[in-house]
Structure 1
């Protein structure tokens, strides 16, 4: 723990004391690298899509009633919340040196009680009660009534705590804001805890730019038709940017809805919102901004592309809210979302999508979606879990899901083989016979991906895995070489 000054001794009653006996600690942004109002909203929203409407109606009555409603409807697992280790260490030292600690938060009392019971660090626990919102001046009045002016120390992180610090006998601040630090340091006794690094980098990571690789599927229609004029390329690039912006918007919302599930996952617990590296309250505004930007670009590409992008957004939102919890349906939806990108590329560029391309896309993307679930099930079996958190699958389903991945992947190779035998190929490629080299490479790659997943060596997303895996990159290079050779006059 890094403190700007050491904590003066806190001794038992009857001995001269340098600090008040009681340390009141704020929750949101101080003890917790998150905000319980937003945590409960997204938890409740994930369980019931009607939550925003109920929350808007309750908000008219005030913040305290709203917090009570969300606390009642949510199911936040307090054991995996992103607590600040520095703050916890400070509290433990305060207690070890004879002081008492109270959790005093604007979060609902039920949540405060659950967190206090989990941490076992507090002598008293006070939160909002559905009528009184224990924040700012209300919190200051409460602490003065409870302990007396100057008879408590207070640890907070925002300017909203100004009056609380003004009435305290000791200020502890966890903030990089010069204004907040100046407000807290106006007291004769002041300490500062360095907060973790800012959340801008965390928000950028939450956009998952590495996942934009999937949106390169919008170029398939153009590549398959060998149509590389300036307008077609420009419209394809516009489609790629629009899909990337909207996809990142969806990723943000998905991460907010999946907070508890991500925190229970060995790797996903490091995602920015789950770990507290990104401020949870930034999630929705940034998602809205990305969605608006993507929609504007889509509108410039025409109403049909805007419609396809709208279908993608609605489907992905439905997937995040409900469909991902249903077996088989989730895999079908994931395969469909990949295929929609291919269709969108055709709509944006005006290049017709062949039946062969659609059939191949459906089968290979169904296989990769099944591989994604296969990898999660393999991890679940290793960890001894009875069920994948937030999904409808059980470890016993592993064999069946693996068979689905193999069967669909091999059917996609069959579709490719039939396509190479068609008259369409002879008309497009002067050296069409060279394309037969694609079939064994594709068969090898699909088999390898499934084998990697079976061994637990697969990334959560097989597309991202393929972009980093040397074997996959080599296979892609071979397929590209065969395609270029076949195109030579």
Structure 2
């Protein structure tokens, strides 16, 4: 009986102490300042330079300047769900809870208003950066020197955890774990909410997108120049291109972090979900670009030229071009063709005008499939486009017209190619190549049929290498080409 009384007394004592919660990396899995800066660079690039100039007045002034321009959507931030559930339970028992953060007060107030569980907000105010000693002084002043409980995640929270009545951690980083252990700070609760780091890194790199870079092997295969050294050059070029492509995907994800969080599936991407920090993404970009570009030392200079063009155009697409209707799909289709041209450069294999023409029409059609599918899915859900792409749901029939026409134009180019004299130099029985045409008609028609039904939910090139029917059609085309060659 005495023991139960002590337990109840301890619980009552805990509930009497105010519970203070850090924001960045704790309540929210990401760094809201980094997210805001990335959103600023994407949405207001001209204002970014003046904003960084405010750093001369201190970090608090910089945070205030960024917050005055960018307003993160509090409803779609990646919250630590186990922690949020705990806070709601404590609030239900009458606990006083405070959001105490180094983030700017405007952002902190919006988050507090959205969640509706905080009794007060203590945050940076444009002149004082509320971290470390400043935060501890602020809490002592707020609570008249009385004890408080604290939940944090990083090294700046160490001082607060040392002085807290009850110390708790949420997604703590390795540095804080080590310091807490070395200083023998008793941690009463852990709130973990993040995916495996290894899994998140692989997901951010988007290994499945490397399938697009198989196009580098196309010039070599079509020229029937399967020599060991050329094959090795193509393999080397494939990895150089893939590393750089992954770097550009990460840049795109970082700049699109706010829009991705509002998307049904893209919100699960590592940076949008808060499983990886923006700083980690920047390091990954540097490493991947360095690996890809250094690898070009062993390949012809023309390959580096095409790879550099790909990087520049892709970054331009991420920053601006994807917002311009039709220009975006022309750029996307062009990037596929650049892969083929890079493959030709890596292996010193000439690119025929037939292959160039075929790829331009085919990839323009596939780029339009991607946009058409997005519009089709929005129309089915009764939503209005809000990603700044420049399209309207009313454009959907015109997009279908453009895309199907371009797809069939690619087949016409292929038909003219196999009717020409150059084919006889590569194939002993060129007339057999005509058997490929019905398979191509079947595939491009099926792609657009599935898109029209709202059943195309991914990049069409990735669809092509994962869809069973597409793979069977691909095998049939390869078999026919071999049959024609001998």
TM-score bucket of the superposed structures, by smaller chain: over 0.9
1:235 aligns to 2:233 (yes or no): yes
Contact 1:59 1:65 in 2 (8 A): yes
SS of the residue 1:98 aligns to: coil
1:96 aligns to 2:89 (yes or no): no
Residues 245-256 of structure 1 mapped to structure 2, 5 A cutoff: 245-256=243-254
Question: Deviation of residue 432 (structure 1)?
Answer: 1.0
Corresponding residue to 2:18 among 22, 31, 41: 22
Question: Deviation of residue 318 (structure 1)?
Answer: 0.7
Question: Deviation of residue 18 (structure 1)?
Answer: 3.8
SS of the residue 2:168 aligns to: strand
Question: Deviation of residue 95 (structure 1)?
Answer: 1.4
Which stretch shifts more, 347-356 or 72-81?
72-81
Describe the superposition over 1:6-47 as per-residue Cα deviations: whole angstroms up to 9, x where unpaired. Answer: xx7699xxx962454311100011100111111101111111
Residues 406-417 of structure 1 mapped to structure 2, 5 A cutoff: 406-417=404-415
Contact 1:372 1:462 in 2 (8 A): yes
Q: Residue in 2 aligned with 1:179?
A: 178
CA distance in structure 2 between the aligned counterparts of 1:423 and 1:200, rounded to whole angstroms: 52
Residues 39-438 of structure 1 mapped to structure 2, 5 A cutoff: 39-50=35-46, 53-175=49-171, 177=174, 178-182=177-181, 186=185, 190-438=188-436
CA spacing shift, 1:422–1:185, aligned 2, 3 Å: same
CA distance in structure 2 between the aligned counterparts of 1:160 and 1:391, rounded to whole angstroms: 40
CA distance in structure 2 between the aligned counterparts of 1:89 and 1:10, rounded to whole angstroms: 24
Contact 2:81 2:193 in 1 (8 A): no
CA distance in structure 1 between the aligned counterparts of 2:171 and 2:264, rounded to whole angstroms: 30
CA spacing shift, 1:243–1:79, aligned 2, 3 Å: same
Describe the superposition over 1:256-275 as per-residue Cα deviations: whole angstroms up to 9, x where unpaired. Answer: 11122222221212111112
Describe the superposition over 1:90-139 as per-residue Cα deviations: whole angstroms up to 9, x where unpaired. Answer: 11122122211111111111111111111111111121122211112221
Describe the superposition over 1:243-284 as per-residue Cα deviations: whole angstroms up to 9, x where unpaired. Answer: 100110011111111122222221212111112222333111
Give me the CA root mean square deviation.
2.0
CA spacing shift, 1:64–1:373, aligned 2, 3 Å: same
SS of the residue 1:275 aligns to: coil
Q: Residue in 1 aligned with 2:4?
A: none
CA distance in structure 2 between the aligned counterparts of 1:407 and 1:118, rounded to whole angstroms: 48
Q: Residue in 2 aligned with 1:4?
A: none
CA distance in structure 1 between the aligned counterparts of 2:272 and 2:168, rounded to whole angstroms: 26
Which stretch shifts more, 352-361 or 155-164?
155-164
SS of the residue 1:274 aligns to: coil
CA spacing shift, 1:478–1:358, aligned 2, 3 Å: same
Describe the superposition over 1:206-235 as per-residue Cα deviations: whole angstroms up to 9, x where unpaired. Answer: 111000010011111111111111221111
CA distance in structure 2 between the aligned counterparts of 1:10 and 1:130, rounded to whole angstroms: 41
CA spacing shift, 1:131–1:263, aligned 2, 3 Å: same
Contact 1:173 1:184 in 2 (8 A): no
Q: Point out where structure 2 has 5 or more consecutive residues left out of the alignment.
A: 1-6
Q: Residue in 1 aligned with 2:463?
A: 465
CA spacing shift, 1:453–1:436, aligned 2, 3 Å: same
CA distance in structure 2 between the aligned counterparts of 1:216 and 1:394, rounded to whole angstroms: 33
Describe the superposition over 1:366-409 as per-residue Cα deviations: whole angstroms up to 9, x where unpaired. Answer: 00000000110111111211224232111111111111110000
Contact 2:30 2:275 in 1 (8 A): no
CA spacing shift, 1:53–1:203, aligned 2, 3 Å: farther
Corresponding residue to 1:32 among 28, 43, 67: 28
Q: Point out where structure 1 has 5 or more consecutive residues left out of the alignment.
A: 1-7
Task: Using structure 2 for the length normalisation, give the TM-score.
Answer: 0.94
